[in-house]
Amino acid sequence: MEDNNPLVFKYDDIRDRGGLTVTLSLPAADYADAFERPDTLKKVDVEMTFSVGGDSVLLEGRAAAVLALDCARCGEPVTRSFEDAFDEVYPDSLEYIDTREVVRETVALLAPIKILCSDGCKGRCLVCGVNRNLQTCNCKAEYNSSFQALKDLKVDKPENPGKKKL
């Protein structure tokens, strides 16, 4: 086991100290593969507190990252900070506590499904593609409902609804 990795800890050291608190700034490049674009992740900071229990060690941590994403409406770049907490319980039978995977999972899940550059983002024109936050256009977007095909549908109505023919 790698005991020189900053995210791998000797179980006995934590137990002997009665716990441990660690704050780390991690290389963003180590987690670049967790995102669609390798330049998405700009900064990663992790805080971890290990607490010794009867026959286990509890890890409570927080990962914070700066992510460069694209606005879901207009496509302009957006750089924001995100953070989330994590926790794990490690049994007394371990020699090392490896936190690399829990940190990787937490960082990978920090990116929101949809991000906007602002709450009032107007997006792009569906016709000409201009960013409507920066300029206006005179395009008239046609609204095509998926139910448009039913507009001209002719349906024969039964003569006596509710009565069965014999």
Q: In this structure, which amino acid lies at residue 16? A: D
Averaged pLDDT for residues 47-54: 94
Q: Which residue ranges make up each domain of the chain? A: 8-150
Q: For residue 100, give the 3-state DSSP assignment.
A: helix
9 touches 106 (CB < 8 A):
no
- Closest C-alpha among 58, 66, 55 to residue 21: 58
Dist. CA 106–CA 48, nearest whole Å = 13
Per-residue confidence band for 150, with pLDDT thresholds at 50, 70 and 90: confident
Dist. CA 79–CA 66, nearest whole Å = 7
**For residue 32, which phi and psi values (nearest 5 degrees)?**
-60, -35
Long-range contacts (CB closer than 8 Å, 24 or more residues apart) made by 10-18: 10/95, 10/96, 10/97, 11/57, 11/90, 11/92, 11/94, 11/95, 11/96, 11/97, 12/95, 14/50, 14/52, 14/57, 14/97, 15/52, 15/57, 18/52
Q: Is the pLDDT of residue 67 over 90?
A: yes
Q: Is the pLDDT of residue 141 over 70?
A: no
Q: What local confidence, expressed as pLDDT, does residue 166 receive?
A: 58
Q: Is the pTM of this model over 0.85?
A: no
Q: Is the pLDDT of residue 11 over 60?
A: yes
Q: What local confidence, expressed as pLDDT, does residue 143 receive?
A: 66
Averaged pLDDT for residues 56-73: 96
Q: What local confidence, expressed as pLDDT, does residue 53 receive?
A: 87
Task: Give the ranges where the chain is alpha helix by DSSP (H).
Answer: 11-17, 100-108
pLDDT in tens, 85-114: 999 999 988 999 999 999 999 999 999 999
Q: What local confidence, expressed as pLDDT, does residue 119 receive?
A: 94
Share of the chain above pLDDT 90, in %: 68
